[in-house]
Amino acid sequence: MISLRGVSLTYPNGVRALDHVSLEIGKGDFVFLVGHSGTGKSSLLRLLYREARPSSGEITVDGIRVDKLRNGRVPALRRHLGVVFQDFKLLSDKTVWENVAFAMQVTGAHTKDVMRQVPRVLDLVGLSHKSRMYPGELSGGEQQRTAIARALVNNPKILLSDEPTGNLDPANTTEIMELLLRINLKGTTIVVATHNQAVVDRMRRRVVRMEDGRIVTDEERGYYYLGLGQGQVLSG
């Protein structure tokens, strides 16, 4: 589903964000990207949704060669991907319903499909009863659930999330992670960049650890800190 081969990324200011990163993520996988701030987690995600282009290396997402993708084809890629951020990125002057519908409407979706799909995803994230409220009237967890609903409304095969629980308290964090798990069980491939140790340790999922723009370990059922788990698989 996602494949990176020898990917490097150097920003125009000379900072080397990624250094020969190779990674394979299969269909329906749930992967944590962990590491300190500034180790390249966000940069890696940005490459996947073509917010940035690699300096070298090959990137394939759902069969699309992202590193070679022309600007005009980027919208098509983004419709296969859902992206969720720490700061939710909701429009404050639109209701929950409108924020979610917006993602479909701006891709030119038929109203019939919008009317069918939006209630479905709002039900999935448990916000049907708050669909007429504005983001400012919601808790952080509810705002993030709205953002997840928006990311899912176009039925993406992959959901990328960059610190989705970074602004949330533990109760809301648990809620969001359980929601992501439910979405994963429906077959969506999920990549979560995080430095929330509690979440990673409780979920016991695949953990890809990054340091200084390189992948240092890749464990099948890992912990946040290396050495806590059993059956570690160290890779290049």
Partner 1 sequence: MDWGKVKFFLGEVLRNFTRNAGMQLTAIGTVAITIVLLGAFLFVRAALAGFGNQLMDQIEISTYLKADASSAQIASIQHLISSDPRVLSVDFVSKKEGLAELRARTRGEIDTSLLTENPLPDKLRVRVREPELVPAVAASIRRIDGVDNVVFGEQVVQRLLQLGAVLRRVGIAVICVFLAVAGIIISNTIRLTVFARRREIAIMQLVGATNTYIRMPFICEGLIDGVLGSAIAVLVLAVAHAALWPRLLEALPFVSLPAAAYNPGLLVGELFLAGAAIGVVASWISVGRHLRT
Interface with partner 1 (CB under 8 A): 49-51, 71-72, 74-79, 83, 89, 91, 93, 102-103, 105-108, 110-112, 114-115, 150-151, 154
Which residue, 19 or 98, is less far from partner 1 as judged by CB?
A: 98
Question: Cβ 78 to partner 1, closest distance in Å?
Answer: 3
Which residue, 147 or 203, is less far from partner 1 as judged by CB?
A: 147
Question: Cβ 83 to partner 1, closest distance in Å?
Answer: 6
Question: Cβ 211 to partner 1, closest distance in Å?
Answer: 28
Question: Cβ 47 to partner 1, closest distance in Å?
Answer: 13
142 CB burial (10 A radius; 0-12, 13-18, 19+): buried
Q: Which of 5, 11, 28, 54 is nearest to 215 (CA)?
A: 5
Question: Cβ 114 to partner 1, closest distance in Å?
Answer: 7
What H or E segment, with its residue span, contains residue 34?
Answer: strand 30-34
31 near 220, Cβ under 8 Å?
no
Which residue, 155 or 197, is less far from partner 1 as judged by CB?
A: 155
> At 139, is the secondary structure helix, strand, or coil?
coil
Which residue, 53 or 129, is less far from partner 1 as judged by CB?
A: 53
Which residue, 14 or 72, is less far from partner 1 as judged by CB?
A: 72
What is the total residue count of the chain? Answer: 236
Which residue, 20 or 80, is less far from partner 1 as judged by CB?
A: 80
Question: Cβ 79 to partner 1, closest distance in Å?
Answer: 4
Put the strands of the sheet holding 2-10 in their side by side order: 16-25, 2-10, 56-61, 64-65
Sign of CA dihedral 70, 73, 77, 83: positive
Tokens of 166: 């970074």
Put the strands of the sheet holding 30-34 in their side by side order: 81-85, 158-162, 189-194, 30-34, 206-211, 214-219
